[in-house]
A and B are shown apart, each in its own frame.
Chain A
Amino acid sequence: MSGRKLSASDRALRWLCAAAVLVPIAVLSSLLVSVALVGFTQLDAEVLAAVGGALRDSVYLGLLSAGLAVPLGVGAAIGLEQYGARATWAELLDAKVAVLAGVPSVIYGLLGLELFARALSSGRGLLAGALTIALLVSPMIFVASREALRGVSASQREAGLALGGTRWQIVRHVVLPMAIPGIVSGTILAVARALGSAAPLLVLGGFAAARVAPEAADPLAVLPVRIFSWIAGPAREGAGGNAAAGSFVLMVVCLGLHGLALVIRGRSTGPREAEA
């Protein structure tokens, strides 16, 4: 019997798996702790004001772009859902949008610059920023929504059909309620990702090319952009402290959003109480 040998390789595998789990956790928590330590020690009224302003801009931008992208991404996913598995063109569209969702975010910055800032001459304000971020996240929202909708089993849809439901009625009353947690968490993750990335707004805002330091008053001077300029810009007093505190806040916000998404996704779909 090779029982001993097997158990030895078994044990090795177990250690390997444990390491695979523990290493990222260790790295993440040490990162968190170090950023938190540095960030915390630097917090004073001035730093708080700078970081707070950037955070407020991030929230505005996040809300506005989500407001633009959610109807687009979720609406398109629901619209396609009605055609069910029958339409080949729906599958093609799926594949195209999945590719869009993989385009690096900096490209969206360039697109936004051309399309919104220059062609539509809407300037480089909040609207252009929100439109650009909306373009960036709506494919991700679409893909997440499609996945959530398709995750609803065929037997649920058949049950709806057998009760004399139309496709739309089934989507509305059976499929959508089951997919909502997945759609919401996917949306939160997409927006969190966009809020954390500086690249598209650095491009759009011209901060990267012209080496313009973003002013606090600039609506595009969101957290990651400010952090970038605090680190990369000409050394100014307080920049280091701002960067550390800003990173800490950004990390907390993003991790918080991810946590929220996890909670929503994990929540079983309880019944809605019958309202007469």
Chain B
Amino acid sequence: MGSAKQHDNDLFEYLLRLGDDRLILGHRLSEWCGHGPMLEEDIALSNIALDNVGQAISLLQLAGEIEGKGRSEDDLAYFRETIDYRNLMLLEQPNGDFAHTLVRQFFFDVYSYYTYLALEKSLHEGLGAIAVKSLREATYHLRHSREWILRLGDGTEESHRRTQVAVNHLWPFTGEMFEADEIDERLTAQGIAADLKKIQLDWRKVVNETLAEATLEKPEDRFLPGGSRQGKHTEHLGFILSEMQILPRSYPDAGW
């Protein structure tokens, strides 16, 4: 592929990964709306959903611009299939109980925080600007989910048990977070993307320390096969998309 074209394609793919992660997580979080364990948490979870969807809008909009085929962020969100989505499988997993939701959130928040921390210095101006703005939100998200991991892990016997179950269940999904492909490698070499190897080190450190402080055990590193960055997913994503996309797909001529 010619270098300019390949570069744009790399960047488009990379932005889809970032955008889809946040769109799908925002979707899952918004399922909690009105059903949280306490009013304050309803507010916090919908706030975090709001930030994630907001970030997804910026990222997908930029993706559409770079692709240059006139696709808007809504076109990208509503008219792609499961096999076109690039979000991590971790994020499409069902909410489960509050412990599952918060463990999923914590694993992602650490990842997202260090990603934005690196992207703040991205040589791509548009992406750097999104990262600067999003880092503030990601910092708050991480503080929120980390505090909950401590509370739940070191709270009652029941909360400890539930949280350990969630950690054990979700751990195998975290391997693919750090699987770098050629796109990552090229963009990282160009100073545009976040270096996944470095993020993995930071992620491990924070996650290990937090689990230890929460009196939770770190599971053994047995990971599920990845591939979501290339469009491989669990069955859950199809249901998310059929719900999310129902209106624009049913009424493609309508504006809302």
Whether both chains belong to one complex is answered with no
Give residues in B with beta carbon < 8 Å to A. none
Using CB atoms and an 8 Å cutoff, list the residues of chain A in contact with chain B: none
